[in-house]
C-alpha cells in the first residue's frame, strides 16, 4: 500500500542520531558474493528498499541469503541455477548491471536487460560494457537485451574515459577472477570502493591502489569465506549534519566516519555552520545566520552529488545568492521546482546549474518525492516549513534511509507515516 509522511514543520530538534551502514557499500558486497561459492557474513547492512530488491535478484539466481538479525546476513552463491537476470526485478535497481562483473568472471556468461534505478539522468552503461569487452567478453545486443559471454576473462589495461563508481566496482570484481594483471586507470576513488577492495583482499584477492585513480588487480583463482562490516553511510552523515544546520539544532551524529566528508565540512564552515568533528561523531551546534556560497559537485573526494539536494535546502536559508553546479548527473536539479512551490527562490539556469536566492520562508505543501536524495531534501524542507506538509511516494526515501521517520521522531520531529 502506498504510504506518505505527514510533517508539521518548525519543531525544535535536539539529540543523537545513529548513522546506518552505507547503502552503496553493502549493495556491492552482496553482489561480490557471486565471485565465490564460500559463505560470507555481511553485517551493519541498512534495512532499506534497495537492499531488499537486490536480495530478491540474488535469490532468483539461486544465491542463498539468510537474515540472521536486523542488519546481519549470511550469503552463499553455491548453487547458482541461472545466469539470466529477471528484468522485472532488475528494472527497479540500477546496481543490477554491476552483477555482470562477478557473474561473467565466474560463470562465463550473463544475460540481462538495460537497468533501472533513479530518475536522475540518462545513466548509460557503456563504460561497463567497454571495460568488460577489454577483459575479453563478447557482447550481443538485441533490443533491450544484453548477452555477454567469455571463454575466460583476461587481465588488460582499461582507461575510463569518464569516472564511474559502479563501473569501477564492476571491473574490479571481474578482474579479481580474470587471468593475469588488470590496470584500471582514471578509476573512481570513493570510500565504498576502498572498503570493497579491502574486504576482497581479506578473502584472497590481490588488489592494489583503491582510493587512487589507478587500481591494479592480479587475478586469483578463487576467494575464501569472509566477514564484512559495512562502513557508515557518509551520505546519511552529511544529510543529518545539514539537517542540524538548517533547523538550527544541536544534533550529535554518531557511528559515522567524518573523514569521508572533508569537503562537506569545509563548505559548511564557509556557510557559517558551527560544528565539532570527532573520530566517529559530528556535533552540529545551533547556528545563527548562514552565508551564501557557490558549490560544485564532483567525484570523490569532491563534494558528493548525493548531498547536492540537501545542500540546496540549506542554501535556501542562507543570506545572499548561491550557485550550485551539478557536474555528475544531468537530471538532478529538477526537484528545485518543488522547493520553489514551497516558497524557495531558485532559478534553474540550465540542467546543470541553479541559482539560489536566500533566505526564504518555506511553507508546508503536498509534495511527491521524485528520488532518494531529492526525497530526503523535501523532507528537510518540510521540517523547516511553516505548517503541515504531506510527502508522497515515500518508498523512494525508503530506498536509501532506514525507518527515517522513527529516527527523526527521536530528535523531536513531528513526522508520521500513514497509509494513503
Ligand atoms: N556514466 C556513463 N556511462 C556508464 C556509467 C556512467 O556515461 O557506463 C555516467 C553517468 O551517466 C553519470 C556519470 O557517469 O553521468 C557518473 O556516474 P557513476 O557511474 O559514477 O554513478 P553510478 O555508479 O551509477 C553511484 C552511486 C550513486 C552516486 C554516484 C556518484 C551506487 C549504487 N550508486 O552511481 O548513488 O550518486 O555513484 O557518486 O553506488 C544514490 O545513492 O542516491 C545514488 C544515486
pLDDT in tens, 145-167: 899 999 999 999 999 999 999 99
**Is the predicted pLDDT of residue 117 greater than 90, yes or no?**
no
How many other CB atoms are found less than 10 A from the CB of residue 286? 15
pLDDT of residue 342: 98
| pLDDT surpasses 60 at 121 | no
Strand partners, 342: none
Which three cell numbers mark 297?
A: 559537485
Chain centroid to CA 16: 23
Ligand 1 binding pocket mutation candidate from 29, 165, 305 (most atoms within 8 A of CB): 165
Instruction: Report how far residue 152's alpha carbon sits from residue 364's, in angstroms, rounded to the nearest whole number.
Output: 57
Percent of the chain with pLDDT over 70: 98
CA of 237 to the centre of ligand 1 (A): 20
Return the pLDDT at 328: 95
Determine the length of the chain. 420
Ligand 1 pocket test, candidate residues 31, 92, 328, most atoms within 8 A of CB = 328
185 and 158 Cβ atoms separated by less than 8 Å: yes
Mean pLDDT, to the nearest integer, of 324-339?
95
User: 177 pLDDT band (50/70/90 cuts)?
Assistant: very high
φ/ψ (deg, to 5) at 340: -65, -40
Q: What is the pLDDT of residues 253-296, one digit of tens each?
A: 999 999 999 999 999 999 999 999 999 999 999 988 999 999 99
Give the gyration radius of the chain's Cα atoms: 21
For the record, the C-alpha cell of 407 comes out as: 529516527
Q: What distance in Å separates the CA atoms of residue 394 and residue 33, rounded to the nearest whole number?
A: 30
The neighbour count for residue 234, using CB atoms within 10 Å, is 26
Query: 297 CA to middle of ligand 1, Å?
Result: 13
Give the closest residue (by CA) to ligand 1 atom 15.
329
What is the per-residue pLDDT across 183-216, written as a single tens digit (0 to 9) for each? 999 999 999 999 999 999 999 999 999 999 999 9
Q: How confident is the model at residue 118 (pLDDT cuts 50, 70, 90)?
A: very low
pLDDT at 235 over 70: yes
Task: Say if ligand 1 is within 6 A of residue 53 CB.
Answer: no
Q: Are 383 and 355 in contact (CB under 8 A)?
A: no
Give me the pLDDT at residue 114, please.
78
Local structure of 250: helix, strand or coil: strand
What's the rounded Cα separation, in Å, for the pair 246 and 249? 8
Q: Which grid coordinates are listed for 256? A: 559515522
123 lines ligand 1 (CB under 6 A): yes
At 8-43, the pLDDT tens digits run: 999 999 999 999 999 999 999 999 999 999 999 999
CA 346 to the chain's CA centroid: 25
pTM: 0.96
Q: Please confirm, yes or no, whether 349 is among the known catalytic residues.
A: no
Nearest residue (CA) to ligand 1, atom 8: 125
Q: Is 393 left (phi over 0), alpha (psi -120 to 50) or beta?
A: left
Query: What pLDDT score was predicted for residue 142?
Result: 87
Q: Could you give the strand order of the β-sheet that contains 281-285, starting from the edge strand earlier in sequence?
A: 14-18, 250-254, 281-285, 274-277
Amino acid at each position: 500500500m502506498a504510504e506518505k509522511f505527514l510533517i508539521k514543520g518548525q519543531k525544535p530538534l535536539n539529540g543523537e542520531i545513529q548513522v546506518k551502514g552505507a547503502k552503496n557499500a553493502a549493495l556491492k558486497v552482496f553482489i561480490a558474493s557471486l565471485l565465490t561459492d564460500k559463505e560470507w557474513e555481511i553485517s551493519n547492512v541498512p534495512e532499506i528498499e534497495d537492499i531488499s530488491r537486490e536480495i530478491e535478484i540474488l535469490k532468483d539466481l539461486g544465491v542463498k541469503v539468510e537474515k540472521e538479525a536486523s542488519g546481519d546476513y549470511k550469503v552463499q552463491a553455491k548453487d547458482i541455477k541461472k545466469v539470466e537476470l529477471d528484468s522485472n526485478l532488475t528494472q527497479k535497481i540500477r546496481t543490477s548491471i554491476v552483477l555482470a562483473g562477478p557473474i561473467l568472471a565466474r560463470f562465463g556468461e550473463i544475460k540481462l536487460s538495460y537497468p533501472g534505478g533513479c530518475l536522475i539522468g540518462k545513466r548509460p552503461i557503456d563504460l561497463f560494457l567497454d571495460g568488460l569487452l577489454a577483459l575479453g567478453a563478447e557482447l550481443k545486443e538485441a533490443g533491450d537485451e544484453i548477452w555477454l559471454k567469455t571463454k575466460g576473462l583476461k587481465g588488460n589495461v582499461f582507461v575510463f574515459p569518464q569516472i564511474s563508481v559502479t563501473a569501477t566496482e564492476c571491473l574490479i570484481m571481474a578482474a579479481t577472477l580474470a587471468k593475469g594483471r588488470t590496470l584500471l586507470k582514471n578509476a573512481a576513488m570513493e570510500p565504498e570502493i576502498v572498503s570493497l577492495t579491502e574486504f576482497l583482499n581479506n578473502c584472497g584477492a590481490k588488489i592494489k591502489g583503491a582510493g587512487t585513480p589507478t587500481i591494479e588487480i592480479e587475478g586469483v583463482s578463487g576467494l575464501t569465506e569472509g566477514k564484512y562490516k559495512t562502513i557508515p553511510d557518509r551520505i546519511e552523515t552529511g544529510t543529518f549534519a545539514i539537517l542540524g544546520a538548517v533547523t538550527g539544532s544541536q544534533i550529535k551524529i554518531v557511528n559515522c566516519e567524518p573523514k569521508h566528508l572533508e569537503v562537506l565540512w569545509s563548505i559548511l564552515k564557509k556557510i557559517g555552520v558551527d560544528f565539532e568533528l570527532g573520530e566517529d561523531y559530528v556535533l552540529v551546534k545551533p547556528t545563527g545566520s548562514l552565508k551564501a556560497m557557490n558549490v560544485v559537485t564532483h567525484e570523490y573526494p569532491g563534494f558528493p552529488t548525493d548531498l547536492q539536494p540537501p545542500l540546496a535546502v540549506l542554501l535556501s536559508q542562507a543570506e545572499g545568492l548561491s550557485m550550485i553546479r551539478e557536474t555528475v548527473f544531468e537530471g538532478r536539479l529538477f526537484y528545485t521546482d518543488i522547493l520553489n512551490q514551497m516558497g524557495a527562490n531558485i532559478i534553474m539556469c540550465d540542467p546543470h546549474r541553479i541559482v539560489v536566492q536566500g533566505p526564504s520562508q518555506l511553507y508546508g505543501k503536498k509534495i511527491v518525492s521524485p528520488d532518494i536524495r531529492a526525497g530526503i531534501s523535501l523532507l528537510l524542507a518540510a521540517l523547516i516549513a511553516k505548517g503541515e506538509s504531506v510527502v508522497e511516494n515515500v518508498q523512494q526515501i525508503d530506498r536509501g534511509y532506514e525507518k527515517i521517520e522513527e529516527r527523526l521522531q527521536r530528535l523531536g520531529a513531528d513526522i508520521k507515516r500513514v497509509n494513503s
